[in-house]
């Protein structure tokens, strides 16, 4: 779905058109759910529902177009994850995503790492092998398809810090990938 169609759906949803809200849900729910599954596992569906309820309440006050709406949704989803773990009194556990997760390339290192690994293996390495902040940045950038500036705002960091975290994460992922390939090529 292109930006013009999403913008029209957003305008319709602000006017209370039910079908327009369905269009927005279908456009953003898959990305949102993949992100929430990576951060909260089994609680993802409930957290996604809470995020959409928050949108329904705040829709008329959200300014901007489709990109700003996506950033708003992921910002709320991230806060819902934090609240979820606070309520449970434990730290987030990492989980493996579904095998059908799609990805969006954001730079050469990421493209190399994701093309070398299968998507499932890359996401597993991201969630299990990176420090939490680095994993969060890459998940928001790749699964959320958010800009550096949007991720910086969501995480309360400067854009330069987000770029550094992403660069370090992707280099670490690339190193892990190349070590794995070297190990696979050695005679057993």
1-36 residue pLDDT tens: 889 999 999 999 999 999 999 999 999 999 999 999
27-51 residue pLDDT tens: 999 999 999 999 998 999 999 999 9
91 within 8 A of 39, measured Cβ to Cβ: no
Q: What is the mean pLDDT of the chain?
A: 82
Residue 174 in any domain: the answer is yes
Q: Exposure of 87 by Cβ count < 10 A (0-12 exposed, 13-18 middle, 19+ buried)?
A: exposed
Residue 175 and residue 126 in one domain: yes
Instruction: List the one residue out of 52, 4, 12, 56 whose CA is nearest residue 28.
Output: 52
Residue 97 in any domain: the answer is no
Residue 51 in any domain: the answer is yes
pLDDT at 175: 81
- What CATH number did the domain enclosing 56 receive? 1.10.1740.10
- Count of beta carbons in the 10 Å neighbourhood of residue 14: 14
Residue 132 and residue 181 in one domain: yes
- Please give the residue range of the domain that contains residue 136: 108-185
83 within 8 A of 54, measured Cβ to Cβ: no
Whether residue 140 is predicted with pLDDT greater than 70 in this model: the reply is: yes
pLDDT at 37: 92
Distance of CA 105 to the CA centre of its chain: 13
């Amino acid at each position: 779905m292109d930006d013009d169609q999403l913008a029209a759906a957003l305008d319709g949803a602000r006017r209370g058109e039910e079908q327009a809200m369905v269009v927005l849900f279908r456009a953003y729910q898959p990305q949102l759910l993949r992100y929430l599954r990576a951060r909260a596992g089994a609680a993802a569906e409930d957290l996604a529902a809470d995020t959409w309820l928050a949108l329904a309440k705040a829709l008329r006050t959200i300014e901007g177009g489709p990109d700003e709406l996506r950033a708003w949704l992921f910002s709320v989803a991230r806060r819902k994850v934090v609240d979820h773990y606070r309520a449970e009194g434990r730290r987030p556990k990492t989980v493996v995503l579904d095998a059908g997760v799609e990805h969006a390339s954001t730079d050469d290192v990421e493209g190399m790492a994701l093309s070398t690994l299968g998507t499932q293996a890359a996401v597993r390495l991201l969630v299990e092998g990176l420090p939490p902040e680095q994993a969060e940045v890459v998940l928001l950038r790749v699964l959320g398809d958010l800009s550096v500036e949007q991720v910086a705002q969501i995480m309360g960091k400067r854009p330069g810090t987000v770029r550094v975290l992403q660069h370090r994460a992707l280099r670490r992922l690339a190193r892990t990938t190349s070590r794995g390939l070297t190990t696979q090529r050695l005679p057993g």
